[in-house]
Amino acid sequence: MKALSVNDLSKQYRNGVQALKSVNFQVNQGDFFALLGPNGAGKTTAIGIITSLVNKTSGSVQVFNSDIDHQLSLAKSYLGVVPQEVNLNLFDKCINTLVNQAGFYGIPRPEAKKRAEDYLKQMDIWEKRNSNARDLSGGMKRRLMVARALVNKPKLLLLDEPTAGVDIETRRMMWSFLRELNNQGTTIILTTHYLEEAEQLCDHVAIIDEGEIIENDSMLNVLGKLKKEVFILNLENSLDVAPKIPGYETSLRSPREIEVSVTQSQGVNDIFTELKKIDIKIISMRNKTSRLEELFIELTNNQKEEQQR
């Protein structure tokens, strides 16, 4: 059973921006699916269309086989959404935020109150139940939005950048909560521009760039395409030329900085051993580009090679 089917979906905004260009992807029931891409790639637009907040230009979307053009309320009944922007009524008490939301789905009040208690407790904000949403911290507001999205027991939960701007504690808590929810059978789609977040949580990933899906595969297969990482090493002493490390590509960025390219089959340990042998001390080390950027370079190079063939 498909939880979501997105077919030839395109969106052109009034200002002429083509945010989605004939996008296709499907999500199986039970998947934990990442829609991964840099800022401006079209992720929020896609979520907006699926949840009927944004009008599509063309294409179709089905949620558990219900088409959003023809069976919108049925499609919506399957969905829970956590948007990127805080869209809470800031003057509502937290408990009422959930009870009112349940009202939109026709859930009787006693049941609504019970669910509100359950989800506020699960999100660890039950003690804030009588506070106005505006008095919550950023991380708590996000947790309240997750609790609100769960009130209709959605079969498909969509989260747009769920941990953007939240503290580490909230991020960890959110991750373990989402894993558990997925284990219990809820299909989850999240958008993110952190490869690490997708990697931690998701079993499937579609990568979107400039409104087009450039990759759609299991997380394991996609990570397998990450062929190399480039590290920058800061050195204690200055050098005139880049040191030679057998098996590695090196270059000098500045007198006290070298760049080393490391392929998947190589570790970084040999670099340290080899440099120690020639008395070069490393003070610190960092990735030149994020792994996601590296993956993009890899994928777009592959695409170009295919086009040239």
Contacting positions for ligand ADP (CB under 6 A): 13, 15, 17, 19, 37, 39-45
Cα gap 265→20, rounded to integer Å: 36
Interior CA angle at 301 toward 36 and 33, to 5°? 20
- Taking the complex as a whole, how short is the minimal distance between the CB of residue 247 and ligand ADP, in angstroms? 38
On whether the CB atoms of residues 43 and 35 are closer than 8 A, the answer is yes
Query: CA distances (Å), 77 to each of 14, 86, 154, 231, in order?
Result: 29, 22, 7, 48
Minimum distance of ligand ADP from residue 59's CB (angstroms): 15
Write the CB contacts of 266 (distance below 8 Å, at least 6 apart in sequence). 247, 248
The residue among 29 and 216 lying less far from ligand ADP, judged by its C-beta, is 216
Q: How far is the CB of 212 from ligand ADP (least distance, A)?
A: 12
Minimum CB distance to ligand ADP smaller for 44 or for 101:
44
In the bound state with ligand ADP, the residue whose beta carbon lies nearer, of 48 and 243, is 48
Residue 16 beta carbon to ligand ADP: minimum distance, rounded to whole angstroms: 8
Please tell me whether residue 175 adopts helix, strand or coil conformation: helix
Choose between 40 and 103: whose C-beta lies nearer to ligand ADP: 40
Q: Which is nearer to ligand ADP, 37 or 243 (CB)?
A: 37
Residue written as tokens 């960025």? 253
Q: Is 213 within 8 Å of 207 (Cβ atoms)?
A: yes
Min CB(210)–ligand ADP separation in Å? 8
